[in-house]
Amino acid sequence: MLLQPRDYRNALLPAWGARQISKLLGLQWKMRGQQNIVGDTGCIVLINHQSGIDLLVLAELWPVMKKCTVISKREVFYLWPFGLASWLWGTVFIDRVNGPRAQETINKTAETINSKKAKICMFPEGTRHGGSQLLPFKKGAFHVAITSQVPIQPVVVSRYSFLNSDQLIFDKGSSVISILPPIETKGLSKDNIGELMKSTYTIMAEEYHRLNQSN
């Protein structure tokens, strides 16, 4: 990784390792919608957030979507060696602040997306939730998408039927990763953020329900 710092391809090796962990755990991931992947620009990839198992989902997406990375709070960088590895594979570290500096963080993230045509993976629910419905979305990802003027790429993962945290059950099983058509943000402003959040939530919630019914 030191030979090509900040290159998204550095994450392909740990992603491969994570896929081997999926095999050891008896987990199968069925991916659909690869034809919908944004190819010529950066984008904001929105994924529903269920548990720490989501890291294995990212490992499936990394080699398929290309130029993927994530946003993390700056403190993670200092958790070496993981923090250094995260920096080397292109993680965008931010200060989680409110007020004027929050907009500065959004602008810097937007600049990274546009200059590197990066695909930033984010969890719009903001917290882990494996229920039958998605939680309401938070605004952060949509602020970044509108500032960047890049598409939103919704990715919906079916409910982890093999996992029951309340009963401490973890079994073999499968889940579907559905990559939906991109949602354009060109020409939108902060005044449109509410409408954009609502339409994106509806699209992802309907797909989540459909996947759970068929899976």
What is the DSSP code string of 137-172?
A: PPSHHHHHHHHHT--EEEEEE---TTEETTTTEE--
Proportion of the chain above pLDDT 90, given as a percent: 71
What pLDDT, on the 0 to 100 scale, is given for residue 100? 64
CATH number of the CATH domain containing 168: 3.40.1130.10
Residue 1 lies in a domain: no
Predicted local distance difference test score (pLDDT) of residue 149: 97
Per-residue pLDDT of the chain (215 residues; tens, 9 = 90+): 888 898 989 999 999 999 999 999 999 999 999 999 998 899 999 999 999 999 999 999 999 998 999 988 889 899 999 899 999 998 988 876 565 667 788 888 899 899 999 999 999 998 988 889 999 999 999 999 999 999 999 999 999 999 877 777 889 999 999 999 999 999 999 999 999 999 999 999 999 999 999 86
**Residue span of the structural domain in which 156 resides:** 8-214
pLDDT of residue 112: 87
Q: Which two tokens stand for residue 215?
A: 């899976």
What's the structural domain count of the chain? 1
Q: Evaluate whether residue 14 is within a structural domain.
A: yes
Cα–Cα distance measured from residue 146 to residue 185, given in angstroms and rounded to the nearest whole number: 6
Give the list of residues 6+ apart from residue 73 with CB closer than 8 angstroms, or none.
93, 94, 95, 96
CA 174 – CA 144 distance, rounded (Å): 32
Does some domain include residue 2?
no
Q: What is the pLDDT of residue 130?
A: 84
The DSSP bridge partners found for residue 70 are 121
Instruction: Say if 3 falls within a structural domain.
Output: no
**Model pLDDT, residue 25:** 95
3-state secondary structure of 163: strand
- 72 in Cβ contact with 146 (< 8 Å): no
